């Protein structure tokens, strides 16, 4: 009887733990977006550094759009293979050019970009291995550039 109660208690604990993880950590925002907080710097300074870093990494900057005083969008990743990508999966035009948002929220500065992995996995068959790998490498370089600016 004690073993049965122990087993039942362990099962309940495991289910509660998994529900807590799903509720607090597996949110759509955390699954679909890469977001970092940039400490100790103003948005304008972070914006300039990120533009420089994107160019340094060969990702380029297509356009910078000031949405508001607190929100700026950078379109990066002008890649020569975008037409091939769009012809295979037109909906991935939301990933290339790479949208990167820099914004102030509650007095803090953040950088956010979409994570490509879900989209690459969802459309892997249409994309093919070579294009999937190329898109993944592109986004890895983007995340490295964002990380380097955030931790400076």
* CATH architecture entry for 32-151: 2-Layer Sandwich (3.30)
Report helix, strand or coil for 92: helix
Say how far apart CA 46 and CA 111 lie, in whole Å: 9
Q: Encoding tokens for residue 71? A: 């929100």
Q: What is the mean pLDDT of residues 74-91?
A: 91
Q: Which residue has the higher pLDDT, 22 or 110?
A: 110
What pLDDT digit, counting tens, does each position of 49-76 carry?
999 999 999 999 999 999 999 999 999 9
Say how far apart CA 3 and CA 9 lie, in whole Å: 10
Residues with Cβ within 8 Å of residue 105, at least 6 apart in sequence: 70
User: For the ranges 19-23, 68-72, 148-152, which has the lowest average pLDDT?
Assistant: 19-23
Say how far apart CA 148 and CA 20 lie, in whole Å: 31
Say how far apart CA 54 and CA 37 lie, in whole Å: 18
pLDDT at 24: 58
* pTM of the complete model: 0.80
Say how far apart CA 18 and CA 66 lie, in whole Å: 40
pLDDT at 16: 59
Say how far apart CA 149 and CA 74 lie, in whole Å: 14
C-alpha neighbours within 13 Å on the C-beta side of residue 14 = 6
């Amino acid at each position: 009887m004690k073993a049965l109660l122990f087993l039942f208690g362990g099962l309940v604990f495991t289910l509660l733990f998994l529900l807590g993880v799903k509720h607090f950590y597996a949110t759509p925002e955390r699954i679909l977006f890469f977001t970092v907080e940039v400490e100790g710097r103003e948005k304008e300074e972070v914006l300039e550094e990120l533009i420089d870093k994107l160019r340094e990494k060969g990702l380029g900057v297509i356009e910078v759009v000031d949405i508001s005083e607190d929100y700026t969008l950078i379109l990066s990743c002008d890649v020569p293979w975008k037409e091939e990508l769009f012809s295979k999966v037109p909906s991935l035009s939301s990933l290339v050019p790479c949208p990167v948002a820099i914004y102030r929220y509650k007095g803090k500065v953040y950088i956010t970009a979409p994570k490509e992995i879900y989209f690459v996995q969802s459309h892997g068959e249409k994309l093919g291995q070579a294009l999937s790998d190329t898109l993944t490498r592109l986004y890895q370089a983007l995340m490295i550039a964002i990380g380097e600016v955030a931790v400076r």
